[in-house]
Amino acid sequence: MKPANLRPFFVIALGALLLAPPAFSQETVTIPKSRFEELVRKEKELDSLRGELSATKTESVRLRKEKEEAVAKVAAAMAAAPAEPAITHVSPPMATLPQLAKGETVDAMDLANHYRTDAAAADARYRTKVFRVKGEIVGFEKPMFTRNYNVLLRAADRQMRILCTVAPPEKFSAVFPAQGGTVLMGAYSSGTRVPLAKLNDTVVIEGRCGGLDGQIVKLNGCTLLASP
């Protein structure tokens, strides 16, 4: 066969070679060593993060279980605790009492009972009058942005309270509840602190009656006169 006649075969063979898929190049891929080491490092970091996430979930479940158990114990203890005994206090009817004198001492439970029984008649007797009230402290309050503080006195009816708003003496730079709200402290400018009263103390407070507000009988402009 002549060379001229062989030309078509060479063209066909060359085209087949050029068009054939590079099978070998698809089977073998080479990457730099640094890139390979980076991929291995990232895979280890990912495994570590997975482990930390699993540990965090386990800890979260444990803490949630402990919280639920603690709440259940508190609820059970409260349910088992004996109820506070009812207070029996019989107050004299207002109609049998003489006119209230300025500075007279009134029992806190009598004041609360009179307002609970007949608020209108109690207003006629006590409202706007200045007198002293004697009772047991059941709480302290310290409103913000004021020097005044509140003393709450016990009433026979658990739903009621006598609230006395007291202005602290000028010798104190501040007055505030301390020890979890169980003690009322007075602070001097030098930093020295002294206890003024504590829960369950029986005190005498003088002030002007502001009447009944909901379940609270209010006395304003008060002064703490006596405490143990």
The CATH number assigned to the domain holding 179 equals 2.40.50.140
Residue 9 lies in a domain: no
Whether the CB-CB separation of 124 and 150 falls below 8 Å is answered with: no
Q: Count of domains in the chain?
A: 2
CA distance 82 to 130: 39
Whether the CB-CB separation of 123 and 99 falls below 8 Å is answered with: no
Residue with tokens 């008649």: 121
CA distance 49 to 55: 10
Residue with tokens 């349910």: 79
∠ CA 154-182-195 to the nearest 5 degrees?
105
Q: 39 lies in which domain range?
A: 31-80
Q: Does the structure show a pLDDT above 60 at 104?
A: yes
Pair (144, 216) in one structural domain: yes
What are the b/e assignments for 17-55, b being 16+ CB within 10 Å? eeeeeeeeeeeeeeeeeeeeeeeeeeeeeeeeeeeeeee
Residue 115 lies in a domain: yes
Pair (125, 182) in one structural domain: yes
Residue 197 to residues 57, 58, 78, 82, 224: CA-CA distances in angstroms?
A: 49, 49, 28, 27, 9
Which range has the worst mean pLDDT, 25-29, 66-70, 71-75?
A: 25-29
Pair (76, 131) in one structural domain: no
SS3 43: helix
The pTM of this model reads 0.62
Pair (132, 180) in one structural domain: yes
- The predicted structure's pLDDT at residue 64: 81
pLDDT tens-digit series, residues 124-149? 999 999 999 999 999 999 998 889 99
CA distance 205 to 25: 99
The runs of H, that is alpha helices, within 81-187 are 108-117, 119-126
pLDDT tens-digit series, residues 17-27? 555 555 444 55
Residue with tokens 């709480």: 139
